[in-house]
Amino acid sequence: MSTRRLQKELLELKNEGAPAGIQLLKGDDFQSWILSIEVLGESLYKGDKFALEFRFDSQYPIAPPSVTFVVNEQFQAPEHPHVYSNGHICASILANEWSPVLTVSAVCITLQSMLASCKRKERPPDNDRYVARAPADPRRTRWAFHDDDV
Amino acid sequence: MNLFLEEDVPDPTDFPPDTNAPGLRSLDEVLRCTICRELFEAPVTVNCSHGHCFCSLCIREQMNTKQECPLCRQTIAEVYIRRNPIVEDILGAWKLSRPFILKLLEERNSSPPATPPTHSVTLQSIPSSLSKRRRRMSSSSDDEIVELPGPSEMRQALQKSDVKITSSRTSSRKPMVQCPICRKEMTEDIINRHLDDNCKPLSTIRSPTPKKRKIQTQEWSRLFGNDSFANKGKARSKPLPELDIKEAESLPKMAYDTVTAKTIRERLSEYSLPTEGEKPALAARHLRWITMFNANLDASPSERKTLQQLRKELRKREENEGLQKRRKTRPHNVDVNVYEKDNKLAFAQLVEQARPKPPSQRPAVQASVCDDTSILDEVAVSDSTEIKRTSGSGVQ
């Protein structure tokens, strides 16, 4: 199912265009896609461009994709209370609140609004401890969600 | 760039927007499952207050992980899944008319608007004048409505005739009775077995033959949990006679934690499924089979896949997953090596610390151990803080 569904999502991104501020950078297989994301309008991240990497397995969309901010020479993870410096994101929809009706572009929009509503640029309080021991795949982390405002 | 886009995927955007063809695009959109984005296959309604509709297989697979409606997050239960035959009928008609409408639209776009009289002529000449994309498009949507392939149809026909033969043969000699529960007519000699099996479809029960009797004793022995009834040393469960999918009933789930791998193997072999693999693989296979089997029953009898088709599908999906897993493990191994290299210094330090030291240095060592445990404590307590981590996750 995963490839057919991804084909359809890709087709939609190409035919109807990605949502405002979001751009497909790499989408040439069914394992991983990279999309760039910008926060439009007034926000702490004005003018910044970030990249999100989506990794899919055969269980998609029943299982969530693994979504991280790309951290390399070109891109950095945004400084945000729910984003670790290794690019891992603490967001419930990527873990226990994932729903199979969500799509790549829906996830991008959610993360875009998470950045847009940020009040203070800072790393999560346990950033260093987490980054030192984080699994490669953020889906292996057991997250505890506490911030309902975002 | 997009090798894999070569295969054309039918999609609502095949239709022009509402300004050119009012309603068509949204019609194609609402007839698609929000999980797989395909036209509904065996559509079912769940028991959320909105009555949301999904493909049976999609929602059943989702419910193996979570009992909530994907669209509204209300709690739902599998026993309340109901078939949606009207949507299924609408889809049957839509699958037929979809390629036809696309052809008409194509024609309207390609031919100048001032030639309505030649309508029927142009219609016939369309197939050759279609663009490559459209042709592929319509052939792939034809695939969606293709009936069962020949061999399986023959098999079904054979099964049916098989049943008829047995019933006519037996009815000539034995009096017929009606089942008090399912109201099916059958001969006297099989009614008890039929009732014992919770009204199993007739096709699977025939008058007891020596072979059947053996299965009966096997089932008794299973009941009593020993081999005294069955032939010792022989495989106890054999594939059940191929049942007619049109009369099949849904299969119950199994509590995999409480049964042994052997029991799961027996269940699998009843449906002629492969029985290799460890218990987790067996359980996954059995769960998937049951999910697919029960989802198949939510299609109208004429649309159902045969057991053979289901088996093929199961194998294909397992193969797909195997491929993905192999792909995944390769970079994983590299990660471990890189990790080892990157942390060589830290490892060396830890080894140094763990070495027995002369008594004068002991306090220092204890201090570092304390540090470690305090970190562990923090991790364990951190339920209330940002994250919890599975033990040992840092190594990956």
- What per-residue confidence (pLDDT) applies to B112? 62
Say how far apart CA B300 and CA B298 lie, in whole Å.
6
- pTM: predicted TM-score of the whole model, two decimal places: 0.63
Provide, rounded to the nearest whole percent, the portion of chain A with pLDDT above 70: 97
- Closest CA in chain B for residue A131: B394
Q: Does B333 touch chain A (CB under 8 A)?
A: no
Region A18-36: mean pLDDT is 91
Nearest C-alpha neighbor of B176 from the set B213, B155, B146, B207: B207
Say how far apart CA A99 and CA A114 lie, in whole Å.
18
DSSP H or E stretch at residue A55: strand A49-55
Per the CB < 8 A criterion, the answer to whether A49 and A140 are in contact is no
Pick B62's closest partner by Cβ from A9, A58, A100.
Answer: A100
Per the CB < 8 A criterion, the answer to whether B340 and B348 are in contact is no
Q: Does A5 touch chain B (CB under 8 A)?
A: yes
Pick B11's closest partner by Cβ from A11, A61, A134.
Answer: A11
Say how far apart CA B255 and CA B242 lie, in whole Å.
25
Tokens of B50: 């909105």
- What per-residue confidence (pLDDT) applies to A86? 92
Strand partners, A83: A80, A89
**Residue at B378: amino acid letter:** E
Per the CB < 8 A criterion, the answer to whether B313 and B292 are in contact is yes
Catalytic residue among A24, A35, A90, A91: A90
- What per-residue confidence (pLDDT) applies to A75? 93
Q: State which CATH number among 3.30.310.50, 3.40.50.1980, 3.40.50.2300, 3.10.110.10 fits the domain covering A2-135.
A: 3.10.110.10
- What per-residue confidence (pLDDT) applies to B204? 53
Q: Using 70 as the pLDDT threshold, list the residues of chain B that sit under it.
A: 1-8, 112-174, 181-184, 198-242, 324-335, 358-396
Give the Cβ contact number of residue A101 at 10 Å. Answer: 19
Give the domain ranges of chain A: 2-135
- Is the predicted pLDDT of residue A42 greater than 90, yes or no? no
- Distance from the Cα of residue A25 to its chain's centroid: 14
State the smallest CA–CA distance between residue B210 and chain A in angstroms: 45
Alpha-carbon distance values, A59 to A64, B23, B360 (Å)? 8, 33, 57
The mean pLDDT of chain B is 71
Per the CB < 8 A criterion, the answer to whether A11 and A107 are in contact is no
- Closest CA in chain B for residue A102: B35
- Cβ neighbours of B62 in A, within 8 Å: 62, 100
- What per-residue confidence (pLDDT) applies to B125? 42
- What per-residue confidence (pLDDT) applies to B360? 58
Question: Measured over all CA atoms, what is the biggest interatomic distance in chain B, rounded to whole angstroms?
Answer: 107
- Closest CA in chain B for residue A135: B396
- Cβ neighbours of B1 in A, within 8 Å: 28
DSSP state of A43: S
Assign residue B310 a region (left: φ > 0; alpha: ψ between -120 and 50; beta: otherwise): alpha
Q: Is A90 a catalytic residue?
A: yes
Q: Does B183 touch chain A (CB under 8 A)?
A: no
- What per-residue confidence (pLDDT) applies to B287? 94
- What per-residue confidence (pLDDT) applies to B336? 72
Confidence of residue A123 (pLDDT cuts 50, 70, 90): very high
- Closest CA in chain B for residue A81: B386
State the smallest CA–CA distance between residue A131 and chain B in angstroms: 9
- What per-residue confidence (pLDDT) applies to B149? 46
Q: Does B34 touch chain A (CB under 8 A)?
A: yes
Region A112-141: mean pLDDT is 89
Which comes out higher in pLDDT, residue A53 or B162?
A53
- Is the predicted pLDDT of residue A64 greater than 90, yes or no? yes
Q: Residue B396 and residue A5: Cβ atoms within 8 Å?
A: no
Best mutation target, A2, A3, A4, A7, to test chain B (most B CBs within 10 A):
A7
- Cβ neighbours of B4 in A, within 8 Å: 3, 7, 28-30
Which comes out higher in pLDDT, residue B209 or A117?
A117
Pick B396's closest partner by Cβ from A12, A90, A136.
Answer: A136
- Closest CA in chain B for residue A134: B394
